[in-house]
Structure 1
Amino acid sequence: MSKVSFAQRGMWVTERLVGAGTAYNVPLAVRFGAGLDGGALLKACAAVVDRHPVLSMTVREVDGELELVPGEPVAIGGTEEPFDLDRGPLARFTLDGRTLSFVAHHLVFDGHSKDVLVRDLAALYNGRTLPALEPAEDEDFAALLPEAKAYWAEHWREPGETVVHGSPLRVRRAGDALVTELRADPQVPGLTRFETLIAALHVLLAGYGTADVVTAIDLSTRSPRDEDRIGVFVNELPISSKPSPEQTFAEFGALVRERLREVYRFRAVPLAAAVPNLRPHAALTPVSVSYRARTGPDPVFDGVEAEVDWTVFNGGVRGSVHLQCVDGRDGLLVSVRHLPDVDGARLAVELGELLAAVTADPETRLGDLVTFSGPVIAEPAVARHQPRATTEVEQVREIWQEVLGVSPILDDDDIFDLGGHSLSITQIIARMEKRLGLKVELDDFFDHPTIAGVMGTASHD
């Protein structure tokens, strides 16, 4: 057994309390031509699982801590059913004719793991013997933590509303989604394609009326020894900016590049470790981006043609909009996953047009690229429920005190100030529902982390 990482704990809490549908599923597909040896391919799948035991692991609560423990065997030819976080497995292979589909839960698999999986699968199918992997190491960011705390004390703020097409986006939960694809090949001197994409996205969001733009990006935390390992080596961190109509895109892009380089220094430090009382959500911000570079050719399966679909849509999204980007030899492939009430197709078109415009002339003023419409003024939030009767409040107080081991707890005491964390919150929510029939949404708990706040949003089953 081994302890889970900060990223895994956040995913587990979200799944256990509110569910994430398919938003945490990480799929890919390999389509083969004639000449496929199906038996050899399935044997290679089993060998990949043996090589990467994390695919057979699941997460359980053990003595108040979350641990990675062995789960049920990985299904080779499994059915499309929701993953069972208690029993596992959290990965499966399905061979349908000449199409191999693979899907794993993000608890044990990240974007770079796709490359490792297909590369190892091809090597094993071709009869190669792969060298043994070095033992995995637990995440270690202690040396960087003091500096990261100082940096985020100055730069972190809870994201406000992100405006898209006149509508303020607030959702940071996981939900069912639609998808639109965008292909682009932005070329701006002094910027990488990724830096150009992030800068363009921020300009577009500012043009829509977002006052202070904050998006989240998924950064790899892999060390060189992890390059050949399947697992979760990713950290979600925020990037903020305030585009001005008078700046040229080249000037603004340079500022974004500088901010990204600052954040890269702390890519190994989870934001939850550096920011006190951080409220966890399925997505750090309403709009987020994940990026993966693929510069080499696809692995070769001897005697058979194979085409890999690296951006298979999982049917879900974390937050309101998520851009999943693969940077290959032919440019960027951007899969725009979005909630149904967001016009993702229009967003993709406008982002593509903006990328083409800045490639044509990076010295164009931002005010000539987009129309800065000014911030959208949102209606004030209204509490959905009134506070509960005193006797019910006292029962909830007892639950808080027994879970946290602290007494007395006052109505306005913040759970994070009392030493609470995401796991203790899951225990409190579960006991409130079981004993009192009170249901609390996870995001509501994080946004109102006091007894008074929780009771103001709780509802009876």
Structure 2
Amino acid sequence: MTPSFASPAPLDPAQHGLWVTERTLDTGSAYHLGLALHFRGPLDPAALAVAWADHVRATPVLAARTDPAGPGLVPGEAPPLRQVTAAPDDLGKLRDEETAARFGPDEALIRATLFTTAPDHHLLLVVAHHLVFDGESKDLLVTGLAQAYRAVTGEGRPPSSAGASAPPPPVSETAVKDAARFWADRWRDSPAPALPGLTAHHADPVTPAPGSACGFRRDGEWHARLVTTAATLGVTRFELLTAAWHTLLLRYGNTAPATAIELSTRVPGAPRQTGLHVNELPLFTHPRPDLTFADFAHEVRAELRALYAHRTVPLSRAVRGLTPRTALCPVSLSYRRRDTSRPADFGPGLDVRTEWTGFARTARNIAHLQLVDGPDSLEGSLQYRTAAFESEAPACVLDHFLTLLDGALAAPDTALGLLPVLPPRERATLVADTTRAPGNAPATLPELFAAQAAATPDAVAVIEGDTTLTYAELDAAVRRRAHRLRAQGAGPGALVGIALPRSAAQLVAVLGTLTAGAAYLPLDPEHPAERLAFLRADSGITLETAADPGPEDLDRLPDAPSAPAPPARTDPAYVLYTSGSTGVPKGVEVSHAALANLLAALRDTTGTGSGSRWLGLTSLSFDISTVELFLPLVTGGTVVLVPEGRHRDGTALAELVDRHRLTHVQATPSGWRTLLAAGLHAPELVALTGGEALPDALARELHTAVGRLVNVYGPTETTVWSTAAALGPDDPVTIGRPLANTRTYVLDARLQPLPQGLTGELYIGGDGVAHGYRGRPGLTASRFVPDPYGPPGARLYRTGDLVRLTADGRIAFAGRSDTQVKVRGHRIELGEIDTALGSHSQVAQAATVLREAPDGEPGRLVAYVVPAPTGVPPTPETLRDHLARRLPAAALPDAYVTLDAMPLTPNGKLDRSALPEPPRERTTGETPVADASDEGVTGTVLAIWRDVLDLDDLGPDEDLFDLGGHSLTVTAIAGRIRKEYGVAVPFDVFFDSPTVHGVAACVAALIEENQ
């Protein structure tokens, strides 16, 4: 008797969920399952067509149609086998089209096409809808079709109805309630995981999208090892493979992997049936790097066994509010174990090869790993959303999976964090030293400068206002200064404090110190006295420059004593203090060799040479000043010094660029905003930007104003800049590639290299690595570690910066791994601010965060304090004054918020993400007395201030800086005023008269002058 089912047949829970999803989302071919049989030999197409019809009639679920009246299946006639003659070159395109073609409402949910490419070469392509088909149904179809074909050709018996489908038993309410309890504390929606080469095109990772696939096959001894290892560990092959997949996800940085798993709902021992007999459920695991693979495989086994108890209950029945989706997790896995390795027996003379892992070119989620495990082989296919990955990344994922699996099979007692992930060739590429230039910097800075002075004695070396110094004049002044320092005891091993403002005298003092063989320590006169006192005491300076170095340094005397013997390359050149995470600043000691290598590398990167003119903009206490001051002086160029106090005046800086025809300017993104707001237009200028992240929008704006844009990156501990990216107008912003003689690695917590596209910590090695932290051997050892991939004795600096490698090998910045932040180019440890706040007698607890601003604008530092239980809570003015005596201006918070208690995580740690947004409030008690609707200049200026500061009730006598204003705010206000009235308000006005009334009075005077 031919099996049949009622008309119409209701859908079971799994089918119903799929049916609803198809009518909610545009699923395309996401639920199409493909199966291909390659025939070589004397196939009889007519006999195969009869066999096809016989098999489908024997398995009536295959001929079913969807019920147009609602969720159900109705019986139908077996669809005929379509026969197509095709050229071999056209076969791929025809297969794709046939696999993707949708099933019509009146069509059977399966179809078959026989493509004939030669008399003895045929391909049978079967496409079935998941409503009536699953992985095991493929086995049943191939076996049943082969039996039917042999019967038609007289080689066997007629087919039986063993593959017919019977409706599964209904899911009981008790089972649903048990599943609901099981999932109550397990289920969670999962974000897109970290995967190599994953792009930003995955806003909804569990909906269908155009897909691609790549595959692998392993057999022979390899497969035997898989079977033996699973048996030895006491787990199934499925459990072992699933443990390997989750281990790989862990090594990619996913500490709590989630994978949707297809589980069979067939009853063990029951007749095998064609149809949809799988249910997808999520598997959540918690692998730890120190756990052995063997132990983790048992944990996976236990979690899978827990899932098996609820395999018949769709998750949508157990979890309320689950929206329709084609996958439960962004990544999924299916495993099917085939019982026989014998090819399908279609009769004598026919060689048949079956493709079990067909793909219909629509991905249900980000990535799906399909595994088909036979008695002597394992086949796999990674099916993925095409737009979500860089082109080569999915193949790399499979390579990593197989490499890790090889390691686990060879040594299952290995810790998860130590299993190999990278194939040897990929690993070698990631750790290769590609920037080595042995003769790049053979001399120290004093030698390089002296040689340049001898070569171009009459060229202009320095411009300060109306004063110029030739190379000969500067060299003579430097040598005189060096001899005087030597007479005062400053030679090799000494440290000289430089407490001078930016000027030619400061430059002579610095070069004189280096020429004397000593190192210099910047002591910025604008820094708080308490901080400077700490630096003097902690560094152990030998002597300090006087406020007035002596006029004889700059006198144009005809000659000077010969320079002392140059310092050794290993001698320190300077010590520069950076913010400390423990609240104590730390001094980074940089050698002459590191400084010389930087200058040589940037000479080539920036195209600096004779005739180049650099802007000397940055404070000596900021290490990028070394580039501005020294690079032009060792290449025959000129440094144009910005007058002290004018470095925040964008208009004045733009005028310097224009007047002196500057070729190179280096600034932070914040500094470039100031220059752009002042109307900078310098088509021949090389612009270096670094010190903080460069927003894409700012990069695009800079390209319209300058000739060439170079984004540079580097911590003080590796000598200013370590990488550089020459950015074109349409290039994505990255920090580029390492400079000459610099090694960069993206590593995990165990110093293992990570694949391209994965986020890890950036480690920097090579010639730029500093000696360490002066007088802090313990701290030095913790941050400067042995380089496992470099020459003997080489060290790496742990930057704490998170980065990833792009497909073409550039480094993309991804944030910080700790509480260090960059504010207007200054590296600031939030812990240092917290410590300083905590030292106030009225503060019990303190925490500081950087609140990001929209559109790439600089963020705001916000301090949160819990007052001491006794006494009066401190006011913002009190806290600001307290910090101003201890911290540099860049580290002063923009706002202060008082809390009753700090928010904590469940384990009792500070929950920074739960700190509230600061209110927009003033630090003065004045009441606004004017309205922006007032006519005249004051009303217009007031309206501009209110708009820029986002304060609707700002008054005309309130202090700009008490309201949180800073140099960028000033720039924005000045730019708006210039656009409104055509006048440029000098920046000094904003600092001298920082109120609307004060600025408006200046604007009115400028308008009158122009009339």
TM-score by length of 1: 0.76
- Determine if the alignment matches structure 1 residue 229 to structure 2 residue 268: no
1:35 matched residue in structure 2: 42
Partner of 2:136: 112
1:149 is the counterpart of 2:180: yes
Unpaired segments ≥5 residues, structure 2 = 1-7, 85-97, 117-121, 152-156, 422-747, 750-759, 762-801, 803-813, 817-851, 855-1011
Output the amino acid matched with 1:57.
Answer: A
2:29 aligns to what?
A: 22
Range with greater deviation from structure 2 (246-255 or 146-155):
146-155
Match of 2:890 in 1: none
Q: Deviations over 1:193-245 (max 9, x none)?
A: 22122111111112222242110110111125764322111100111011111
Inter-partner Cα distance in structure 2 for 1:29 and 1:197: 25
**Structure 1 residue identity aligned to 2:371:** C
1:347 aligns with 2:397: yes
1:86 is aligned to: 105
Distance in 2 of aligned mates of 1:311 and 1:16: 26
- CA distance in 1 between counterparts of 2:169 and 2:395 reads 39
Based on CA coordinates, which of the two structures has the bigger radius of gyration? 2
Question: What is the aligned counterpart of 1:131 among 157, 160, 167?
Answer: 160
For residue 162 of structure 1, give the secondary structure of its aligned residue in structure 2.
Answer: coil
1:102 correspondence with 2:132: no
Q: Name the count of aligned residue pairs.
A: 378
| Greater mean deviation of Cα atoms: 151-160 or 71-80 | 71-80
SS at match of 1:68: strand
Q: Secondary structure at the match of 1:238?
A: strand
Cα distance in 1 for residues equivalent to 2:10 and 2:217: 39
Rounded Cα–Cα distance in structure 2 between residues aligned with 1:338 and 1:132: 36
1:73 to partner: Cα distance: 4.8
Higher relative contact order, structure no. (Cα contacts within 8 Å, ≥ 6 residues apart): 1
CA contact (8 A) 1:113 1:231 kept: yes
Q: Contact between 2:294 and 2:413, CA under 8 Å: does it hold in 1?
A: yes
Q: CA 1:166/1:241 → structure 2, altered by over 3 Å: closer, same or farther?
A: farther
Please name the residue that 1:321 is paired with. Answer: 367
Tell me, in whole angstroms, the C-alpha distance in 1 between the residues paired with 2:248 and 2:268: 35
Runs of 4+ in 1 over 6 A off after TM superposition: 374-378
Following superposition, the deviation at residue 271 of structure 1 comes to 1.3
SS at match of 2:216: strand
Match of 2:380 in 1: 334
8 A Cα contact 1:22 1:176, kept in partner: no
- Tell me how far 1:159 sits from its aligned partner: 2.0
Secondary structure at the counterpart of residue 119 of structure 1 = helix
Q: Residue 259 of structure 2 corresponds to which residue in structure 1?
A: 215
Look up the SS of the partner of 2:276 in the other structure.
coil
Aligned counterpart in structure 1 of residue 63 of structure 2, from 51, 56, 60: 56
> Which residue, 298, 317, 339 being the options, matches 2:343?
298
Contact in 2 for aligned 1:293/1:327 (Cα 8 Å): yes
Q: Report the Cα distance in structure 1 between the residues aligned to 2:359 and 2:165, rounded to whole angstroms.
A: 32
Are residues 1:280 and 2:324 paired? yes
Letter in 1 for 2:375: R
Say whether 1:68 aligns with 2:107: no
Kindly provide the amino acid, as one letter, of the partner of residue 16 in structure 2: R
Q: Give the match for residue 508 of structure 2.
A: none
Residues 30 and 317 (structure 1 numbering): CA distance in 2 closer, same or farther, change over 3 Å? same
1:362-391 C-alpha deviation (Å, 9 max, x unpaired): 11111212645599999x9x9xxxxxxxxx
The 3-state SS of whatever aligns with 2:194 is strand
1:193 aligns with 2:224: no
Q: How far apart, in 2, do the equivalents of 1:279 and 1:20 lie?
A: 14
Structure 2 contact 37–353 (Cα < 8 Å) conserved:
yes
TM-fit CA distance, 1:254: 0.9
Q: Distance in 2 between matches of 1:279 and 1:132?
A: 38
278-287 or 27-36, which moves further after superposition?
27-36
**Identity in percent:** 37
| 203 and 38 in structure 1: CA distance in 2 versus 1, 3 angstrom threshold | same
Find the aligned partners of 2:149 and 2:50 in 1 and give their Cα distance: 8
Q: Look up the SS of the partner of 2:67 in the other structure.
A: strand
Residues in 2 aligned to 1:74 and 1:4: alpha-carbon distance in whole angstroms: 21
- Please give the alpha-carbon distance, in whole angstroms, between the structure 1 residues aligned to 2:302 and 2:408: 19
Please state how far the C-alpha of 1:152 moved relative to its aligned partner: 1.5
> Any conservation in 1 of the 2:165–2:274 contact (CA below 8 Å)?
no
Shift of 1:51: 1.0
Deviation per CA, 1:251-291: give whole Å up to 9, x if none: 11110111011111211121112222222210110000111
RMSD of aligned residue pairs (Cα, Å): 2.6
Q: Shift of residue 15 of structure 1?
A: 2.8
| Alignment partners' CA distance in 2, 1:363 and 1:377 | 35
Measure the CA separation in 1 of the matches of 2:135 and 2:168: 19
Please give the secondary structure, in 2, of the residue aligned with 1:155: coil
Distance 1:10 1:75, change over 3 A: farther
Describe the SS at the equivalent of 1:289.
Answer: strand
Moved more, 33-42 or 7-16: 7-16
Asked if 2 retains the 8 angstrom alpha-carbon contact of 1:161 and 1:210, the reply is: no
The answer to whether the Cα contact below 8 Å between 2:191 and 2:205 also exists between their aligned partners in 1 is: no
Measured in 2, the distance between the counterparts of 1:126 and 1:51 equals 15
CA shift in 2, pair 1:366/1:125, >3 Å: same
State the one-letter code of the partner of 1:324.
Q
- Deviation, 1:110, is 0.8
Structure 1 spans left out of the alignment, 5+ residues:
383-461
Partner amino acid for 1:153? Answer: A
Deviates more, 1:294-303 or 1:164-173: 164-173
